Amino acid sequence: MHRFANPAEFNRLADRILPWSLAIMAGAFAAGLYLALFASPPDYQQGDSVRIMYVHVPAAWMAMFTYMVMAGASFTALVWRHPLADLAGKAAAPIGATFTALALVTGSLWGKPMWGTYWEWDGRMTSVLVLFFLYLGYMAVWQSMDDEAKAGRAASILALVGVANIPIIKFSVDWWNTLHQPASVMRMGGPTIDGTMLWPLLIMALAYKAYFVTVFLWRMKLEINRRKLSVLSQAEVYG
């Protein structure tokens, strides 16, 4: 990974990946939305409201995945001082916050017809809300300090502390009484969801993952260029 500590080398890699991630994102979203909205059957209990699942569930998966990317980048920045690691965490945070907000909003919209309420303070919903606040806190720390090195270290520590919330989200349905059903896709013994619903869900998950890769690389390139401009500006001032 130290090879990609060079910003120019990272930008070349990003430029090679971006056309592929864009193509996968566009194709997966087109296929996934068609299957989710038109080809997949309504649920025998939930009816057509089950279609919210195809937006909500991948968003929840990506909210946790993106946080782990951010935490991994934070760990790398603190331990190995990788010069682009703190930028990776900074680039990932707004994407993860967006996924988390989407999961909370669509979950509330799905909850109303299913549970009769938009919100319930159960383990899963509360821990996802905590995740959203962790993202906001991480971004706020970056904005609160003029010294980027200090901001990066403080934000990285916060990100690593917040990792404890990820298993709480994952296993909350097993640990506490909750309105949420147990895992039906990522579980021992294989998925319990029917293939006519599973495939659209997995294709939408692929679309979300490709979206993350695309926007993450764009944001990384922007952060690298912003840092270059900052260094040049300081050199002109003090030169």
Residues 53-90: tens digit of each pLDDT: 999 999 999 999 999 999 999 999 999 988 899 999 99
Contacts of 102 by beta carbon, 8 Å cutoff, 6+ apart:
55, 56, 59
Residue 16 burial by Cβ neighbours in a 10 Å radius (0-12, 13-18, 19+) = exposed
Confidence of residue 183 (pLDDT cuts 50, 70, 90): low
Query: C-alpha 238: how far from its chain's center?
Result: 40
With tokens 């969801």, the residue in question is: 193
Question: How many Å apart are CA 200 and CA 43, to the nearest integer?
Answer: 14
- For residues 60 and 107, the answer to whether their CB atoms sit within 8 Å is yes
What is the average pLDDT score of the chain? 90
- Average pLDDT, integer, range 91-118: 94
Output the CA torsion sign for 111, 206, 215, 156.
positive
Decide: 75 and 163 in contact? Cβ < 8 Å. no
Specify the pLDDT at position 211: 98
